[in-house]
Structure 1
Amino acid sequence: MSANGGTKAIVAALLANAGIAVTKFVAFLLTGSSSMLAESIHSVADSGNQGLLLLGGRRAKRAATPQHPFGYGRERYIYAFIVSIVLFSVGGLFALYEAYHKFSHPEPIDEWQWVPVTVLVVAIIMESFSFRTAIKESNLVRGNQSWVKFVRRAKAPELPVVLLEDLGALVGLVFALFGVGMTLITGNGEWDAIGTAMIGVLLVAIAIILAIETKSLLLGEGAEAHDVAAIEKAVTDGPEFERIIHMKTLYLGPEELMVAAKVAAPACESAEVLARSINTVEARIRAAVPTARVIYLEPDIYSAAAERAGTGSAAHTAVPGSEPGEAAGRPGS
């Protein structure tokens, strides 16, 4: 994902939500509508979330240290996970509490009746522009994936988070407009409470989705199948190595992939030739998958017998009568 694209979408959402939050609070103070209060807190939570995403993106750029030799790229995942918690607790649970309170003491909207409707319509327009920006930036990196697959498989969390937040904000505004509108039409404050409850359920659902997807990133995800295939092709395309014995990949951050592979090397006369082969293959891997920035290739001797035994490496094929762990042909892996 383009970092600039993600930042642009975050800033657009932050500006929209900050402005919307102020107008919603004014509408709540004038009317006492619980839907307007829930939406006000929702917009404040969203504004804070966008601030967290910007902070996470900034902190992730710090240089690697001896204590964190692979850098701080995953900090973007941590802040995205915090966003899901904020959305769940501050946005969703507060709205559900407010709905319960309003059901217990329903009140009609007697004054400034035009204010909440006007504010909600204006908010829908402003939020639509933010959502449009998020969609436009996402389309630059989404490719042919469906929206569901993009949200589930994106390694950079910012655009999926902003997309879901903006979608939730738009749907929540419609729910609030429904609750306020029905309260104005019927004079029954319970409709306002129903709209507030719908907003709460929506925010809790979005927060759970974000938490599940971000947790997967925090645990560590490997490369997508097409990138794995490209890396395998880059390794075996030349004469340097005969095959991949085994390989693992891991995202150290949204834009930094680690590749660790044990490769079958042909017989060679010097370490210099072997080192040159490794450098050549590493260059091919980086050309095929630009995010593959950390690469470890371990040359080994391939054994068909070991492959059948499940190791694939001659170094792990025991010699009859040898000590456990002693390799066939050489003393270790």
Structure 2
Amino acid sequence: MASSKVAIYTALGANLAIALTKFVAAGVTGSSVMVSEGIHSLVDTLNEILLLVGLKRSQKPPDMKRPFGYGREIYFWSYVVSLLIFAIGGGISFYEGISHLRHPTPIESPYWNYIVLGIAIVLDGTSLVTALRAFNEQRGSQPFWSAVKSTKDPATLVVLFEDGSDVLGLIIAFLGVFLGHQFNNPQLDGLASILIGCLLTAVSILLAHESRSLLMGEAADPVTSQQSIALTEADSIVLKVVNALTFQMGPQDIVLIQRVSLRPDLTTEEIVQGVNRIRQTIQAAEPTIRQVFIEPVSYPDTAS
């Protein structure tokens, strides 16, 4: 969670500074692609603020209204951010690009754009490296795309792909400004803006898909589930774990439900002590399992 916050704060500071410089450059040069890039960075700034809101709300303790806690708040806000990337970032970039194709305006003083784009690439590149480090720390030795599909922390994923699309968008913007000025064809500037809109739309679809899956409810990592079963079956009162269900309430918040077949000769006191012992063993081995529910199943019922 700490690495996620560092990545978000880094991206927030970078995007706010970049948005201001891009809008200044757009006002001086009249570049359509710089307007798109300025809006893109402004949307990214808003996105980081929403992710921070989601992180803060997700850390609220359980109460009577939400007995399983507020962990899924971060999934909701990550989904909202994904939609904003498409609706605002992608939509306005498309609009600016098409408008510029229909009414092309020559770029004045393109060197201002080059300076701003250079500064933006440095800032966004730094933010991208920070987000990539946070993501790599979470995925360990897992392959990159496999980690993208299985991650339970959408905040880091959103920042990573936002920053990646920022850097690619800046490269497209640079080419649009440079080629448009070089060939005296301002329509290339508008085309670059449309390409940025396509890029943002693709990123938005990917992030929305992952965030929606988590919001709808996903099981915990299979390794975590198998470990909990092994620890339960290692206890002296247990014959077999009949089934185990997990669901992810947040990046660091898992609920575990097990139906367990117990030895038939146990007293009530031994069952209570054994269940408490199993719960403590599981939570000590995997602290992200915040709540453990064990339903004892009598041996005859299981045998039938």
- The question of a shared fold, defined as TM-score above 0.5 by the shorter chain, is answered with yes
TM-score bracket for the superposition, by shorter chain length: over 0.9
Q: Secondary structure at 1:56's aligned position in 2?
A: helix
- Separation (CA, whole Å) in 2 of partners of 1:76 and 1:243: 36
> TM-score, length-normalised on structure 1?
0.89
Match of 1:100 among 91, 98, 101: 98
- Separation (CA, whole Å) in 2 of partners of 1:302 and 1:271: 15
Equivalent residue for 1:321?
none
Check whether the contact 1:14–1:51 (CA below 8 A) recurs between aligned residues.
yes
Give the aligned CA root-mean-square deviation in angstroms: 1.2
Q: Secondary structure at 1:144's aligned position in 2?
A: coil
Deviations 1:92-112 (A, max 9, x none): 011011111111111221x22
In structure 2, what residue type is equivalent to 1:22? L
- How do 1:208-247 residues align onto structure 2 when only pairs under 5 Å count? 208-247=205-244
- Separation (CA, whole Å) in 1 of partners of 2:187 and 2:286: 56
Percentage identity across aligned positions?
Answer: 35
- Separation (CA, whole Å) in 1 of partners of 2:299 and 2:103: 75
Deviations 1:212-247 (A, max 9, x none): 000000011101121111111111112121101111
- Separation (CA, whole Å) in 2 of partners of 1:288 and 1:4: 21
Match of 2:129 among 129, 132, 137: 132
Deviates more, 1:264-273 or 1:48-57: 264-273
Displaced runs of 4+ in structure 1, greater than 4 A?
none
Match of 2:118 among 115, 121, 144: 121
Deviations 1:87-146 (A, max 9, x none): 01110011011111111111221x222101111111101111111111122222210112
Q: Whose Rg is larger?
A: 1
- Separation (CA, whole Å) in 2 of partners of 1:60 and 1:224: 20
Equivalent residue for 2:25?
27
Residue 165 (str. 1) matches residue 162 (str. 2): yes
Equivalent residue for 2:12?
14
> TM-score, length-normalised on structure 2?
0.97
In structure 1, what residue type is equivalent to 2:56? R
- Separation (CA, whole Å) in 2 of partners of 1:146 and 1:173: 27
Deviates more, 1:150-159 or 1:273-282: 150-159
Equivalent residue for 1:331?
none
Unaligned runs of 5+ residues in structure 1 are 307-312, 318-333
Deviations 1:175-232 (A, max 9, x none): 1001001111011111001110110000000001010000000011101121111111
Deviations 1:57-101 (A, max 9, x none): 111122222121111110010110010011011100110111111
